[in-house]
Structure 1
Amino acid sequence: MKDSAIITLIKKEFLSEWRQRYALNGIVLYLASTIFVCYMSFGLKTGTLNGPTWNALLWIVLLFTATNAVAKSFIQESTGRLLYFYSIAKAESIIISKTIYYSLLLIVMAIIGLFFYSIVMGNPIQDWPMYLLIMVLGSIGLASALTMVSGIASKAPNSTSLMAIMSFPAIIPMLLVIIKTSKSAMDGIDRSVYMNQVLVLVAINAIIIAVSYMLFPYLWRS
């Protein structure tokens, strides 16, 4: 029963996003324009950015894109709609469905961002499979953390400002692990050297999802 509720809620998220395609188009435009502004600001020619800077700048762009994309997960929901969800679905189903949906959304945005970024900034990635794996894990981690923060912020006044204030302390440690691990994959270092960092990233994601699953019902009742 819970599985069917999660699937139904995920479909609802997709339909809602499709009906408001301007929001999705806005996210893509924000991503592309941010990358272009970075390119113009640095005044670079393709391929002249050193590896660590290239990697860190990419993840900073993806971080701000993720914040803009996920911020609306709970904040956009009206009080009446939240009350309706409260009456037809369990809190666990709601948080899991939103986490899955925004994880998929951020994975797609990350791939699109990497495509645009590679065009204007060059592409020094040597270990593509591992870099894409880290990008998927990073997107899931950012989506999980930001979805939970959005749920907390939606319960308070000035939720948009609170979302920005609360999100960065929660995701900065994760972002540091993502940048360090993806840099190793980008350089083509032997995977056994940094596999423990990949496992740390997997553990962080698991902890965030588990904490959201356990604590969100208490937040939902309020």
Structure 2
Amino acid sequence: MAALHQTLTLVKKDLVLELRQKYAFYGILLYIISTVFVINMMMGKPEEQIWNAQFWVVQLFVSVNAIAKSFMQESRGRLLYFYSVVHPRYFIAAKLLYNMLLMAIMSIIALVSCIVFLGNPIINVWYFVGVVMLGGISLSLLFTMLAAIAAQANQNAALMAIMGFPIMMPLLMMLANIARSAFVPVYQPGLLNMFLLLIGMDVLIIGLAMILFPFLWKD
């Protein structure tokens, strides 16, 4: 119970900071809308395969911008204070939960923006919404772990993008392939295996974060 209480308290702390620093949230919101609007101005309303690819590219950049600040907004003094009062696993668990919540909200906003500006070629809407939520969670887990590592390298956001590239590309391709079934009325073979692989990657990332972060925390 103490572990759950400390984790939820840290999540609440991040929510309070986000509400106080509304410019960060509004900045990401403006980034989503302006990016999708520019795509609309350049390409109009694309066909479903291009629409799907563009959506996941938008999701990628949104996740990088939204999650990179999760550790960068923590000063060295504040991190030292947290080091003395909470276990590192509770701290990283709170970051993972908060970023999952943040990316879930941003994913829905990105989806609505794409539908408004780029049209709606989706046949199975609820299936696509489920894939979007699962994809947002997967991206948030990945970049939270990378942001934790980058935070130990003088808060270098470029390092996060470089380290994430080898994992990010297969993840995006997998998400795009899973989401493709929402644009066609026929069943896509191998879909269950891709879902299981995606969930397995999420579990692996959580496990790695829980194991590696305490060692990073000591530095």
TM-score normalised by the shorter chain: which range applies?
over 0.9
Aligned to 2:42: 41
SS of aligned partner of 2:154: coil
- Are the structure 2 counterparts of residues 104 and 186 from structure 1 closer, same or farther at C-alpha, using a change threshold of 3 Å? farther
Q: What number of residue pairs does the alignment pair up?
A: 218
CA–CA distance in structure 1, aligned partners of residues 203 and 68 of structure 2: 21
Q: 1:138 aligns with which of 129, 135, 138?
A: 135
Shift of 1:168: 2.2
- 1:108 equivalent in structure 2: 105
Q: Aligned residue for 1:122?
A: 119
| Alpha-carbon offset, residue 139 of structure 1 | 0.8
In structure 1, the gaps of 5 or more residues are none
The answer (yes or no) to whether the contact 2:33–2:110 under 8 Å persists in 1 is yes
What root-mean-square deviation, in Å, do the aligned CA atoms of Structure 1 and Structure 2 show?
Answer: 1.4
Q: Spell out the pairing of 1:52-201 with structure 2 (5 A cutoff).
A: 52-157=49-154, 159-190=156-187, 193-201=190-198
1:52: how far off? Answer: 1.1
| Residue number in structure 2 paired with 1:18 | 19
Measure the CA separation in 1 of the matches of 2:23 and 2:177: 34
Alpha-carbon deviation of 1:3? 0.5
Distance 2:37 2:107 in 1: 15
Residue 170 of structure 1: CA displacement?
2.7
- 1:2 is matched with 3
Choose 2-11 or 170-179, whichever is displaced more: 170-179
Query: 1:6/1:191 Cα in 2 relative to 1: closer, same or farther (>3 Å)?
Result: farther
Q: How far 1:160 moved relative to its partner?
A: 2.1
Unaligned runs of at least 5 residues, structure 2: none
Paired residue type of 2:61: F
Rounded Cα–Cα distance in structure 2 between residues aligned with 1:220 and 1:86:
7
| Residues 124-168 of structure 1: CA deviation (Å, up to 9, x unaligned) | 111222211111111111111101111111111361222222222
Contact 2:141 2:202 in 1 (8 A): yes
By how many angstroms is 1:72 displaced?
Answer: 0.8
Q: Which moved more, 1:125-134 or 1:57-66?
A: 125-134
Q: Give the drift of 1:208.
A: 0.9
| Matched-pair contact (CA < 8 Å) for 1:125–1:188 | no
* Residue type of the alignment partner of 2:88: A
Distance in 2 between residues matched to 1:191 and 1:92, nearest whole Å: 39
